[in-house]
């Protein structure tokens, strides 16, 4: 019995390492999801950052890291429907895209003409908005 013990410990070690690796990866996914969610909230305020891609990244990270956080995000009245549409259809509703683009471009143009003073800053903001628009357009459109 004494001689079998070291072999039993060694045989359990890969299993324990697997559990440790799995819990570490879940933590990494949860941290990444939270950082992405913070960027999404910043994107609500700043027109430069697109909110929707960061919400979708958060949902994907929480799906792998924590079912509780994923469900919490799905139950959000604003972001839940967007996430559910993307998970189910791999796309966004046409009305959601139009609303997102209208809000983004309204904020970008208002910032460019009324807040930003330098031509360089205006060009940077508008360029980023163009990139965000291209990304949004490339996402599959779900007909309402």
Sketch the domain layout of the chain as residue ranges.
4-142
Number of other CB atoms surrounding residue 52 within 10 Å: 22
pLDDT tens-place string over residues 110-129: 888 888 888 998 898 888 88
DSSP string, 26-87: HHHHHHHHHHHHHHHHHHHH-TTS-HHHHHHHHHHHHHHH-HHHHHHHHT-TTTHHHHHHHH
Beta-bridged to residue 140, according to DSSP, are 91
- pLDDT tens track of the chain, all 144 residues? 444 444 444 445 555 556 668 888 999 999 999 999 999 888 887 766 778 788 888 999 999 999 999 999 999 998 898 888 888 888 888 888 888 888 888 888 888 888 888 899 889 888 888 888 888 888 888 887
54 contacts 37 by C-beta, under 8 angstroms: yes
134-139-140 Cα angle (round to 5): 135
Contact 100, 40 (CB under 8 A): no
CB count in 10 Å sphere of residue 64:
15
What is the pTM for the complete model shown? 0.65
Distance between CA 36 and CA 51 in Å, rounded?
9
């Amino acid at each position: 019995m004494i001689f079998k013990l070291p072999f039993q410990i060694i045989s359990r070690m890969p299993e324990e390492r697997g559990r440790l690796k799995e819990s570490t990866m879940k933590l990494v996914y949860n941290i990444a999801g939270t950082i992405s969610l913070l960027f999404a909230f910043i994107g609500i305020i700043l027109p430069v950052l697109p909110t929707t891609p960061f919400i979708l990244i958060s949902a994907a990270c929480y799906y792998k890291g924590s079912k509780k956080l994923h469900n919490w995000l799905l139950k959000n009245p604003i972001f839940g429907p967007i996430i559910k549409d993307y998970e189910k259809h791999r796309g966004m509703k046409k009305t959601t895209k139009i609303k997102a683009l209208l809000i983004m471009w309204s904020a970008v143009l208002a910032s460019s003409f009324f807040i930003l003073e330098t031509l360089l800053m205006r060009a940077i903001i508008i360029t980023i908005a163009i990139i965000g628009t291209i990304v949004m357009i490339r996402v599959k459109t779900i007909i309402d």
